[in-house]
Amino acid sequence: MTTGSNALDDHVGWLGPDRLERMLGARVAGLARVLPAVSAAGTAPAPLPDQRHRAHRAVRALLQQRDAVAARAGVSVKTVSRVVNDEPGVSSSLVERVRGAIEDLDFRPNAGATRGQLVKIASESAGFDDEIAPDYYTFTDVEPGHTFWIYIERLLLNRPDAIAGYPCGGPGEPCDSENRPYFRPNNGVTSGQASKILRNTFFPGCNPPGR
């Protein structure tokens, strides 16, 4: 398995840096590559090797469907990359096969992750596996049994600054008896939210200089 900074570079290579930034946001797409350089400059604490590896895993988790598309279409991952990026030199028959596999697998390379999906990726990649009381929940709209409940609670337990909710009482979001906030797990994650979640999960306490 590829380790170190090349693990992220591999994914930048097949998606292209512009597309990766559109998926993850510019700050997030560059995070795992920027932090080592920032650390060397003495402006941020150096991430531990396992933290860097987990950050790379988080990025890879967003891109795993590429391999499934390639297998479904019976082509190489490079061919999938070329079709996704609309590069010339791919036969019409291969383009049709790849696009058919993309449709079959509902692969949307330009679609951003939802808030719930990104929390699941971050929590699993960080290796959080704590037991959570089966009747405990932080957000009104993410009760026990919800798809993302366990990942949200585990992330909050280990990295309380990584995510936050929205106050109850707004349109369509009535307050429960404990005035729990709402998480809105199916909302698309903004680049700022994604940067906060991944940065505070894998590099807690690190504040890269703003741009």
Q: Which two tokens stand for residue 109?
A: 């390379």
Considering only CA atoms, which of 25, 20, 38, 9 is closest in space to residue 203? 38
Q: What are phi and psi of 99, to 5 degrees?
A: -65, -35
Q: d(Cα 61, Cα 22) in Å, to the nearest integer? A: 16
* SS3 assignment, position 163: coil
pTM of the model: 0.54
pLDDT of residue 121: 83
Where in the chain are the domains?
Answer: 6-104, 115-188
pLDDT tens sequence for the chain (211 residues): 333 334 344 444 444 445 545 544 444 444 444 333 333 333 444 444 555 555 555 555 555 667 778 888 899 878 887 887 677 888 989 889 988 887 777 665 555 678 898 898 889 888 899 999 999 999 999 999 999 999 999 999 999 999 999 999 999 999 999 999 999 998 887 767 777 888 888 888 765 544 4
Q: Report yes or no: 148 and 155 within 8 Å, Cβ to Cβ.
A: no
Q: d(Cα 124, Cα 201) in Å, to the nearest integer? A: 11
> How many residues does this entry show for the chain?
211
CA 208 distance to own-chain centroid? 19
Tokens 């939802």 belong to residue: 114
Q: What residues pair up with 182 in beta bridges, in sequence order? A: 166
Considering only CA atoms, which of 37, 33, 54 is closest in space to residue 46? 37
* SS3 assignment, position 146: coil
Q: Report yes or no: 45 and 207 within 8 Å, Cβ to Cβ.
A: no
Q: d(Cα 110, Cα 108) in Å, to the nearest integer? A: 6
Tokens 């990766």 belong to residue: 20
Q: d(Cα 31, Cα 177) in Å, to the nearest integer? A: 40
